[in-house]
Amino acid sequence: MNATALLIDSVDKFYGPVDYGVHAVKQLNMEVKKGEIIALLGSSGCGKTSTLRMIAGFEPVSRGTISVAGRQVHMLAPVRRNVAMAFEGYSLYPPLTVRENMAFALKASKLSQSVVDEKVASIAKLLEIEDILGRYPSSISGGQQQRASLGRALIRDADLHLLDEPMGQLEPQLRAVLRGRIKHYIKERGLTAILVTHDQTEANALADRIAVMEGGVLQQFDTPQKIKERPANLFTGTFVGEPPMNVFEASVNGTDARVTFGLKDGVRLEYQAADFSHAVRDALMKRQNVVLGIRPYSVRRSADGVTGRVAVNQWLGDQTHIAADFAGGTMVLVEHDRTSLEIGQPIGIRLDPASLHVFDSESGMAISHGEELA
Amino acid sequence: METTSPVERLLRGVALTLVVVFFMFPIVWIFLMSFQTNETILRIPPSVVFTPTLENYAALITGKLQTASGTLDIAFMRNLGNSVLLSVASVALALVLGVPAAYAFARHKFRGSEDIAFTLLSFRFAPPLLVLLPLTQYFQWLGLSNTYFGLIWIYQLICLPLILWIVRGYFEDISADVEYAYRIAGHSWFSTFRKIALPLAGPGIAAAGLLAFIFAWNNFVFALVLASADKQPVTVGALAFVTASGIQYGQIAAAIVLSITPTLALALYAQRYLVEGLSLGAVKG
Each residue's pLDDT tens digit, A337-359: 888 889 999 999 999 999 999 99
Do B23 and B63 belong together in one domain? yes
Tens of pLDDT, residue by residue over A272-315, are 988 888 889 888 888 999 999 999 999 999 988 889 999 999 99
- Give the pLDDT mean for B52-69: 78
ipTM: 0.75
User: Predicted confidence band at B56 (pLDDT cuts at 50, 70, 90)?
Assistant: confident
Rounded Cα–Cα distance for residues B96 and B117 (Å)? 16
Cα pseudo-dihedral A250, A254, A257, A259, rounded to 10: 10
CA-nearest residue of chain A to B188?
Answer: A79
Residues in chain A: 374
CB pairs below 8 Å between A and B: how many?
55
CA distance, residue B207 to nearest chain A CA (Å): 20
Cross-chain Cβ contact A91/B175 below 8 Å: yes
Cross-chain Cβ contact A56/B180 below 8 Å: yes
Do B132 and B261 belong together in one domain? yes
Contact A28, A8 (CB under 8 A): yes
Cross-chain Cβ contact B178/A91 below 8 Å: yes
Type of residue numbered A162: L
Q: Which of A22, A52, A93 to mutate to test the interface with B (most CBs of B within 10 A)?
A: A93
Cross-chain Cβ contact B200/A152 below 8 Å: no
Cross-chain Cβ contact A79/B183 below 8 Å: yes
Boundary residue ending a domain (B52, B73, B94): B73
CA distance, residue A177 to nearest chain B CA (Å): 26
Boundary residue ending a domain (B73, B88, B103): B73
Q: Measuring CA to CA, which residue among B33, B38, B29 is closest to residue B66? A: B38
Does residue B285 fall inside a structural domain?
A: no
Residue A87 neighbours by CB distance under 10 Å: 28
Does residue B36 fall inside a structural domain?
A: yes
Do B46 and B96 belong together in one domain? no
DSSP A275: G
Does residue B284 fall inside a structural domain?
A: no
CA distance, residue B186 to nearest chain A CA (Å): 5
CA-nearest residue of chain A to B183?
Answer: A79
CA distance, residue A86 to nearest chain B CA (Å): 8
Rounded Cα–Cα distance for residues A357 and A94 (Å)? 51
Q: At A182, is the secondary structure helix, strand, or coil? A: helix
Residue A368 neighbours by CB distance under 10 Å: 22
User: Which chain B residues are closer than 8 Å to A95 by Cβ?
Assistant: 199
Tens of pLDDT, residue by residue over B195-211, are 888 988 888 898 899 88
Residue A343: CB partners within 8 Å, gap ≥ 6?
A310, A311, A312, A313
CA-nearest residue of chain B to A164?
Answer: B177
Do B69 and B93 belong together in one domain? no
Cross-chain Cβ contact B177/A87 below 8 Å: yes
User: Which chain A residues are closer than 8 Å to B186 by Cβ?
Assistant: 79, 107-109
Residue A104: CB partners within 8 Å, gap ≥ 6?
A93, A96, A152, B185
Residue span of the structural domain in which B110 resides = 76-279
- Give the pLDDT mean for B142-153: 88
* Residue B128 CA: distances (Å) to CA of A258, B145, B168: 90, 16, 24
Its sign, for the CA torsion B24, B25, B30, B32, is positive
User: Which chain B residues are closer than 8 Å to A156 by Cβ?
Assistant: 185
- Give the pLDDT mean for B251-273: 84
Do B44 and B180 belong together in one domain? no
Could you give the number of structural domains in chain B? 2
CA distance, residue B61 to nearest chain A CA (Å): 46
**Mean pLDDT over each residue of chain A, to the nearest integer:** 92
Rounded Cα–Cα distance for residues A93 and A87 (Å)? 12
Identity of the residue in A56, A92, A107 whose CB atom sits nearest the CB atom of B184 = A56
Identity of the residue in B178, B180, B196 whose CB atom sits nearest the CB atom of A58 = B180
Does residue B158 fall inside a structural domain?
A: yes
Rounded Cα–Cα distance for residues A8 and B140 (Å)? 62
Give burial (CB, 10 Å; 0-12/13-18/19+) of A161.
buried
Question: If interface means Cβ-Cβ distance under 8 Å, which residues of chain A face chain B?
Answer: 56-58, 77-79, 81, 83-85, 87-89, 91-95, 104-105, 107-109, 149, 152, 156
Question: If interface means Cβ-Cβ distance under 8 Å, which residues of chain B face chain A?
Answer: 175-178, 180-189, 196, 199-200
Do B80 and B57 belong together in one domain? no
Identity of the residue in A91, A105, A109 whose CB atom sits nearest the CB atom of B177 = A91
Cross-chain Cβ contact B187/A79 below 8 Å: yes
CATH number for the domain spanning B177: value is 1.10.3720.10
Cross-chain Cβ contact B181/A85 below 8 Å: yes
Does residue B63 fall inside a structural domain?
A: yes
* Residue A248 CA: distances (Å) to CA of A84, A265, A368, B176: 44, 12, 15, 45
Do B42 and B177 belong together in one domain? no
Do B86 and B59 belong together in one domain? no
Cross-chain Cβ contact A87/B199 below 8 Å: no
Does residue B55 fall inside a structural domain?
A: yes
Does residue B13 fall inside a structural domain?
A: yes
Helix/strand/coil percentages in chain A, nearest 5 = 30, 35, 35
User: Predicted confidence band at B67 (pLDDT cuts at 50, 70, 90)?
Assistant: low
User: Predicted confidence band at B281 (pLDDT cuts at 50, 70, 90)?
Assistant: very low
CA distance, residue A166 to nearest chain B CA (Å): 14
Question: Which residues of chain A register pLDDT less than 70?
Answer: 1
What is the reported pLDDT for B285?
Answer: 31
CA distance, residue B97 to nearest chain A CA (Å): 26
Contact A347, A308 (CB under 8 A): yes
Do B116 and B18 belong together in one domain? no
Contact A31, A221 (CB under 8 A): no
Do B80 and B56 belong together in one domain? no
Identity of the residue in B178, B183, B196 whose CB atom sits nearest the CB atom of A78 = B183
Residue B251 in this model has a pLDDT that exceeds 90: no
Do B52 and B108 belong together in one domain? no
User: Predicted confidence band at B4 (pLDDT cuts at 50, 70, 90)?
Assistant: confident
User: Which chain A residues are closer than 8 Å to B175 by Cβ?
Assistant: 89, 91
Q: Measuring CA to CA, which residue among B169, B170, B159 is closest to residue B120? A: B159
Residue B283 in this model has a pLDDT that exceeds 70: no
Boundary residue ending a domain (B50, B73, B96): B73
What is the reported pLDDT for A105?
Answer: 83
Q: Measuring CA to CA, which residue among A50, A60, A53 is closest to residue A25? A: A50
Contact A105, A152 (CB under 8 A): yes
Q: Measuring CA to CA, which residue among B75, B79, B65, B73 is closest to residue B246? A: B65
Residue B215: CB partners within 8 Å, gap ≥ 6?
B158, B159, B162
Does residue B33 fall inside a structural domain?
A: yes
Give burial (CB, 10 Å; 0-12/13-18/19+) of B16.
exposed
Identity of the residue in A57, A94, A105 whose CB atom sits nearest the CB atom of B185 = A105
User: Which chain B residues are closer than 8 Å to A78 by Cβ?
Assistant: 180, 183-184
Cross-chain Cβ contact A108/B183 below 8 Å: no
Do B19 and B154 belong together in one domain? no
CA distance, residue A164 to nearest chain B CA (Å): 11
Q: What are phi and psi of B228, to 5 degrees?
A: -100, 180
Identity of the residue in B176, B188, B200 whose CB atom sits nearest the CB atom of A94 = B200
